[in-house]
Amino acid sequence: MDFLLQLLANGLVNGTFYALSALGLTLIFGLMRVVNFAHGELYMVGGLIGWALTELVGANFFLALLIVVIATGAAGYLIDRWLIERVRNQGAESGILLTIGISIFLTNTALLIVGTVPHKVLSPFANKPLFLGPVVLTQSRLSIVAICAVLMLAVHLLIKHTTLGRAMRATVQDAMAASLVGIRTERIHGFTFALGTALASAAGALLGSIYVTQPTIGGLVSLKAFVVVILGGLGSFAGAIIGGLVLGVAEALWGGYFATGYVDAIGFALVIVMLLVRPYGLFSVKSERA
Amino acid sequence: MRKTCLGIAASVVMAATAAQAQETIKIGLIQPLTGSVAYNGKTDVNGATLAVDMRNAKGGVMGKKIDLVVEDGQCRPAESVNAAEKLIQRDKVVALAGAFCSSATLAVMPVAANYKIPLITGVSSNASLTEKGNKYFFRATETDELLAKSFAKVVFDTLKLRNVAYIGVNDDWGRGGVAEFEKQMTALGAKTVMKEYFEHGTTDFYTLLTKLKSSGADGAFVAAETQDGSIFVKQKAEFGLPVKVFGVGSWATADFIKLTGDASEGLYAAVPYASTMTTPKNKAFVDAYVERFKEPPGKYSAAGFNSLNIMMDAIERAGSTDAEKIRESLTKTNYEGPNGHFQFDAKGQATGFSVVLVQLQKGVPNVIATTTVEH
Amino acid sequence: MIFERRFLLGALAIAIVFPLLGWSEYVIHVGVLIMFSIMLATGFNLIVGYVGEFSLGHTAFLGIGAYTAALLSSSLGMPIFFNIAAAAVVAAIAGFFIGAVTLRLRGPFFVIVTLCFAEVLRIVANNWVALTNGPMGIAGIVKPAWMAQQTALQQKIDFYYIGLALVTVCVYFAYRFVYSFLGRAVVTIRENRFVAQSVGIWPYSYSLLAFVVASAMAGVAGAFYAHYVSYVGPEVFGFPFMISMIIMVLLGGKGTLIGPVIGPVIVVLLEEYLRDFKDLRFSIFGLVIVAVVLFVPQGLMGFVAARREQYARK
């Protein structure tokens, strides 16, 4: 029983982290219809900037987080306006190939700059074990889970209840109509991509304080994020959270009761089964279009 | 279009012929510079570069400078084969060192044999490599089997481990290490209570740790490299688990200790090299290395340093860059490295050097047992 | 069509003569890699260029073909040509099942679920030690018997011609497929599946057929690769192969037959050439991809086609 409880706790904590690292991806897909293959690399960049600020500069963790969000958000805006803008409406492949190109560039440029050593973002939270009955947790993990929740809520409110959020949603529903009522859709796309980028790199900086960060982690992060997003339904915010938790718990249970070597396959297997049963995810907002 | 293709092809050939006019002696080194073990590959290259620069400063080999040509093999067999082809064909290297991962080295071995170019590895530890009957292949490091044989008894006796959990990274090296240690420890009477593998780049070990906790193990054998190993060790400390850990891999390195912080206190690691070894050769090596790279050398730095030195010695002794003569000369290797003495047996496996069991105390790997690798 | 046929025959003639010009082994090695890549790209192009769906899991069939050949060769000692044929069949069967599942989905869902299949297979290959030897891979796949006495150069030339023969077969199949009613049906589906349905073309089964043919070609490429490199490990299922495949097809020009022939030539040469840039090479490679998407979105052949149209109008 204790064993099961601990596994569930691990799974839920991990699931929250998965959800966090997938938010940027689902946002960019849901509001822009771009499958962002550079997602994991944006996460990695966030982690590395976080490391550079906290370890090399000695900045406060929260200040570093703020700088990460602003800096990568601005970079995301430029990436959209300069690159993605030009392949908009050219079909999915162009976007995918473009982001693959960006991801290869980011990974290897980061390798050139910071080298291959894994780094850690310094956070003010303690890593001492925290015993809740039979279950072990740490202060740092719980704090990051709390920050995740705040972040998710903030983004949710931004999208649902602000003018900018409404403009974003209008743009994805019908860009032509949106521009007719005076929304500058190009800028809105840029802001959406900026927000997705900022979320991805915030996740990288936050989780970089729990795990480590290094230039080559992007691919794995992207893959897990895809699994999470598909499980929940591409573009659905609540879905991404559920998808993350499902993946986290499923991995923990599988790893706990069967072999850990196959753990990474669980997510993919879930996705395959899911798409057979409910082709557009648990919480899909997708509708068929001609 | 056709014309351009031909044009490009033609310039490939021109580049190849231009490389032929050599004033220097070229040695090729294949290491993973990108990918999951890139970090370790890089430290190997550092060690190799240091060996070459030190030799060149003393006048090189046979009066010629050594030119070290480094290629990225990504630890992938196919990429490593491409890199080997490129080094042999385009750069005309006279000898090869490398490919880090055993599977990559295994793929390069037939290429080396095909072109009759001697190949030395300082890292690939899968026991089967030297059983292939490839007479151009030499291994200047321990095998998983030899390391397990040398340390199983020490671990069993000094750490008093009876119920052992085996955890390894899911690749040829991790699986090989787990298999050999389990074999040796079981022979001594230890019970296997858990055996699990994890993927390169795993970020969360809580599931494994939960299993480890409920397995009732009093000690865990862990085969992991810097990144995975450091996360494992940190999370084990977070988990508050009083299980003794002894690891193989790059555990006694400065970066590992920096990443793990307090969590590394009391860990045991079985390594073929630690910067705290007390031989005079090692002191000179560590000083030179620290001066150049601002950090103490690790296991792979020593591996790169040794393999290049052994190769350069062999070329010097052969008095020629003829592959067959270098190979001949390699078999007569008698090299004193930072971690002891190296000579090759008939299969190309090095023996005579030391391997150590260290315990990390206050961020320093203290040597608690040393043995010599013999058959 | 006539231009395509002339170009392909011309390229074949050049490819036949090419090794006779006394190149070094390295150049022939690069040639063999190009042959391997053309097989992959030609198959992949059938899906991405003609069916119009973007698969990220084509390495699944490359890997299945490679493992089929490796296992047949190492455990049963079967000869190379038998293995290549067997790999084609096994990959086609796998393609049938995977295609039957995935082709029900479209757009990003298809993209990601195909990627999932390839990843699951990679993880299985990595863990099912009893069958695949796990991460250690299958080494020492024997070279054909007649090569035993040959020099390294001659062996490479032999592989080059085997590769060329396989490429010819693949491209011929692709050609026949594209210019048959099947190909036209598939293109109709790509352009507008609703119109296709209205004239009686059932998208699912035609797409599946193209998918199976493409899988078989990837299987052939895998088997060829296994025998050439003489080693197969789980990384044949990996994403890097997929990335090169995509770039080759899109750079050459998807939906054309020439594109997947010149794409690999350029990409393989580029990859080898960028080695001179050492650490910078992948950064440059990434930028090249971005540049291709931005400046030649239809690939080189799309670019050429547009030019030819302009020319014809004048």
Chains that touch C (3 or more CB pairs under 8 A): A, B
DSSP letter assigned to residue B187: H
- How many CB atoms neighbour CB C194 within 10 A? 9
Contact of B148 with B183, CB cutoff 8 Å: yes
The helix (run of H) or strand (run of E) holding residue B145 is helix B144-158
Q: Do A108 and C282 touch (CB under 8 A)?
A: yes
C229 closest CB neighbour out of B6, B8, B78: B78
What distance in Å separates residue C134's CA from the closest CA in chain B?
Answer: 8
Q: Is B16 on the interface with C (CB under 8 A)?
A: yes
What distance in Å separates residue A217's CA from the closest CA in chain B?
Answer: 7
- Residue A23 burial by Cβ neighbours in a 10 Å radius (0-12, 13-18, 19+): buried
What pLDDT was estimated at residue C103?
A: 87
For residue B85, list chain C residues with Cβ-Cβ distance below 8 A: 25-26, 29
What distance in Å separates residue C250's CA from the closest CA in chain A?
Answer: 9
Q: State the complex-level ipTM.
A: 0.83
CA atoms within 13 A on the CB side of C197: 6
Q: Is residue B366 in a domain?
A: yes
Sign of CA dihedral B50, B51, B55, B58: positive
Domain span including residue C259? 2-313
**Measured distance CA(A61)–CA(A47) in Å, rounded:** 12
Phi, psi for residue B73 in degrees, rounded to 5: -105, -5
Q: Do B1 and C269 touch (CB under 8 A)?
A: no
- Listed residue (B136, B130, B149) closest to B349, CA to CA: B130
Q: What percent of chain A has pLDDT over 70?
A: 96
- Which sequence spans correspond to the domains of chain A? 20-215
- Listed residue (B356, B268, A35) closest to C114, CA to CA: A35
| Lookup: tokens for B11 | 């310039």
**Measured distance CA(B212)–CA(B193) in Å, rounded:** 9
Q: What is the pLDDT of residues A76-94, one digit of tens each?
A: 999 999 998 888 877 777 8
For residue C101, list chain A residues with Cβ-Cβ distance below 8 A: 272, 275-276
Q: Do C25 and B85 touch (CB under 8 A)?
A: yes
Contact of A21 with A224, CB cutoff 8 Å: yes
For residues B45 and B129, membership in a common domain is answered with: yes
Q: Is B9 on the interface with C (CB under 8 A)?
A: yes
What distance in Å separates residue C79's CA from the closest CA in chain A?
Answer: 33
What pLDDT was estimated at residue C112?
A: 83
For residue A35, list chain C residues with Cβ-Cβ distance below 8 A: 108, 111-112
For residues B228 and B366, membership in a common domain is answered with: yes
**Measured distance CA(B171)–CA(C233) in Å, rounded:** 11
What distance in Å separates residue C296's CA from the closest CA in chain A?
Answer: 11
Phi, psi for residue C309 in degrees, rounded to 5: -60, -45
**Measured distance CA(C297)–CA(B88) in Å, rounded:** 37
The amino acid occupying position B108 is V
| Lookup: tokens for B306 | 């040794």
**Measured distance CA(B7)–CA(B217) in Å, rounded:** 65
**Measured distance CA(B87)–CA(B95) in Å, rounded:** 9
- Listed residue (B170, B228, B207, B169) closest to A14, CA to CA: B207
- Listed residue (A42, A41, A18, A44) closest to A121, CA to CA: A44
Q: Greater confidence, A286 or B225?
A: B225
- Listed residue (B260, B174, B200) closest to A217, CA to CA: B200
The residue in chain B having the minimum alpha-carbon distance to the alpha carbon of residue A14 is B204
**Measured distance CA(C217)–CA(C220) in Å, rounded:** 5
The amino acid occupying position C29 is H
Q: Is C278 on the interface with B (CB under 8 A)?
A: yes
Q: Do A118 and B210 touch (CB under 8 A)?
A: no
What pLDDT was estimated at residue B20?
A: 43
For residue C240, list chain A residues with Cβ-Cβ distance below 8 A: none
Q: Is B197 on the interface with C (CB under 8 A)?
A: yes
C23 closest CB neighbour out of B13, B72, B76: B13
| Lookup: tokens for A147 | 């920050």
**Measured distance CA(C170)–CA(C92) in Å, rounded:** 14
At A200, the pLDDT band (50, 70, 90 cuts) reads very high
Predicted TM-score (pTM) of the model is: 0.84
* C interface test, pick of B29, B106, B169 with most C CB neighbours within 10 Å: B106
For residues B110 and B203, membership in a common domain is answered with: no
Q: Is C291 on the interface with B (CB under 8 A)?
A: no
A226 closest CB neighbour out of C107, C112, C117: C112
- Residue C199 burial by Cβ neighbours in a 10 Å radius (0-12, 13-18, 19+): exposed
Contacts of B304 (CB under 8 A, 6+ apart): B29, B31, B43, B44, B45, B46, B47, B48, B49, B50, B51, B97, B122
What pLDDT was estimated at residue B375?
A: 66
| Lookup: tokens for B355 | 């391997």
Q: Do B102 and C30 touch (CB under 8 A)?
A: no
Look up the CATH number of the domain holding residue B292.
3.40.50.2300
What distance in Å separates residue C177's CA from the closest CA in chain A?
Answer: 23
Q: Do C101 and A98 touch (CB under 8 A)?
A: no
What pLDDT was estimated at residue B12?
A: 43
Does pLDDT of A218 surpass 50? yes
- Listed residue (A78, A74, A99, A75) closest to A87, CA to CA: A99
The amino acid occupying position C126 is N
Look up the CATH number of the domain holding residue C23.
1.10.3470
Q: In whole angstroms, how far apart are CA A17 and each of A30, A154, A191, B36, C26?
A: 20, 16, 24, 22, 48
Q: How many domains does chain C have?
A: 1
DSSP letter assigned to residue C131: H
Q: Do C247 and A230 touch (CB under 8 A)?
A: no
Q: Do B12 and C27 touch (CB under 8 A)?
A: yes
For residues B116 and B52, membership in a common domain is answered with: yes
For residues B112 and B15, membership in a common domain is answered with: yes
Query: What three-state secondary structure class fits B9?
Result: helix
Contacts of B277 (CB under 8 A, 6+ apart): B338, B339, B354, B356, B367, B370
For residue B174, list chain C residues with Cβ-Cβ distance below 8 A: 135
DSSP letter assigned to residue B250: S
DSSP letter assigned to residue B135: T
What pLDDT was estimated at residue A282?
A: 60
Contact of C67 with C196, CB cutoff 8 Å: no
Write a three-state SS string for C137-193. Answer: CEECCCCCHHHCCCCHHHHHHHHHHHHHHHHHHHHHHHHHHHCCHHHHHHHHHHHCH
Q: Greater confidence, A9 or B10?
A: A9
**Measured distance CA(B168)–CA(B195) in Å, rounded:** 8
What distance in Å separates residue C10's CA from the closest CA in chain A?
Answer: 31
Phi, psi for residue B347 in degrees, rounded to 5: -90, 0
**Measured distance CA(C63)–CA(B226) in Å, rounded:** 30
The amino acid occupying position C101 is V
- How many CB atoms neighbour CB C205 within 10 A? 11
Q: Is C144 on the interface with B (CB under 8 A)?
A: no
The amino acid occupying position C231 is Y
What distance in Å separates residue C61's CA from the closest CA in chain A?
Answer: 17
The amino acid occupying position B171 is D
Q: Do C30 and B175 touch (CB under 8 A)?
A: no
For residues B103 and B223, membership in a common domain is answered with: no
What pLDDT was estimated at residue C132?
A: 87
Angle between helices B299-318 and B38-57 (to 10 degrees): 40
C286 closest CB neighbour out of A93, A101, A275: A101
C26 closest CB neighbour out of B8, B86, B126: B86
For residue B198, list chain A residues with Cβ-Cβ distance below 8 A: 260-261, 263
Q: What DSSP string describes A146-209? A: HHHHHHHHHHHHHHHHSHHHHHHHHHHH-HHHHHHTT--HHHHHHHHHHHHHHHHHHHHHHHHT
Find the DSSP H helices in chain A.
2-32, 39-51, 61-79, 85-87, 92-114, 139-161, 163-173, 175-180, 185-208, 218-232, 237-257, 263-277
Span A203-211, mean pLDDT? 89
Domain span including residue B228? 145-271+356-372
CA atoms within 13 A on the CB side of A102: 27
Those residues of chain B whose CB sits closer than 8 Å to some CB in chain A are: 33-36, 38-39, 41-42, 170, 196-199, 201, 203-204, 206-208, 210-211, 213-214, 226-227, 230-231, 234, 237-240, 255, 259
Q: What DSSP string describes B97-120? A: EE-SSHHHHHHHHHHHHHHT--EE
What pLDDT was estimated at residue A283?
A: 58
C-contacting residues of A 77-96, CB under 8 Å?
83, 86-87, 90, 92-94, 96
> What string of pLDDT tens digits covers the 314 residues of chain C?
788 888 889 999 999 888 888 788 888 989 999 999 999 999 999 998 888 888 889 999 999 999 999 999 988 888 999 999 999 999 999 999 999 988 888 777 888 889 889 999 998 998 888 888 888 788 778 778 788 777 778 888 999 999 999 999 999 999 988 888 888 888 888 888 788 888 878 788 888 999 999 999 999 999 999 999 888 888 889 888 888 888 899 888 888 889 899 999 999 998 888 877 767 778 888 898 899 888 888 888 878 877 877 787 76
What distance in Å separates residue C135's CA from the closest CA in chain B?
Answer: 5
Q: Is residue B155 in a domain?
A: yes
- Residue B131 burial by Cβ neighbours in a 10 Å radius (0-12, 13-18, 19+): exposed
Q: How many domains does chain B have?
A: 2
- Listed residue (A205, A197, A210, A211) closest to A48, CA to CA: A205
- Residue B170 burial by Cβ neighbours in a 10 Å radius (0-12, 13-18, 19+): buried
Q: Greater confidence, B148 or A66?
A: A66
For residue C109, list chain A residues with Cβ-Cβ distance below 8 A: 230, 234, 275, 279-280
Four-CA torsion A108, A114, A119, A123, nearest 10 degrees: -110
> What string of pLDDT tens digits covers the 375 residues of chain B?
333 444 444 444 444 444 444 478 999 999 988 776 778 888 999 999 999 999 999 888 888 889 999 998 888 887 888 889 889 888 889 999 988 888 889 888 988 888 889 999 998 888 888 888 888 999 988 888 888 888 888 888 888 888 999 999 888 888 888 998 999 999 998 899 999 998 887 888 888 898 898 888 888 999 998 888 888 998 888 888 888 898 888 888 877 888 888 888 889 988 888 888 888 888 999 999 999 988 888 889 999 999 999 999 999 988 888 888 899 889 988 888 888 889 898 888 988 888 888 888 888 888 888 888 776
What pLDDT was estimated at residue A30?
A: 82
**Measured distance CA(B230)–CA(C68) in Å, rounded:** 38
Q: Is residue B149 in a domain?
A: yes
Query: What three-state secondary structure class fits C103?
Result: coil
What distance in Å separates residue C196's CA from the closest CA in chain A?
Answer: 13
- Listed residue (C215, C223, C267, C222) closest to C243, CA to CA: C267
- Listed residue (B348, B177, B192) closest to B272, CA to CA: B177
Q: Do C101 and A272 touch (CB under 8 A)?
A: yes
The amino acid occupying position C199 is V
**Measured distance CA(C98)–CA(C102) in Å, rounded:** 6
For residues B187 and B51, membership in a common domain is answered with: no
Q: Is residue B247 in a domain?
A: yes
What pLDDT was estimated at residue A289?
A: 39
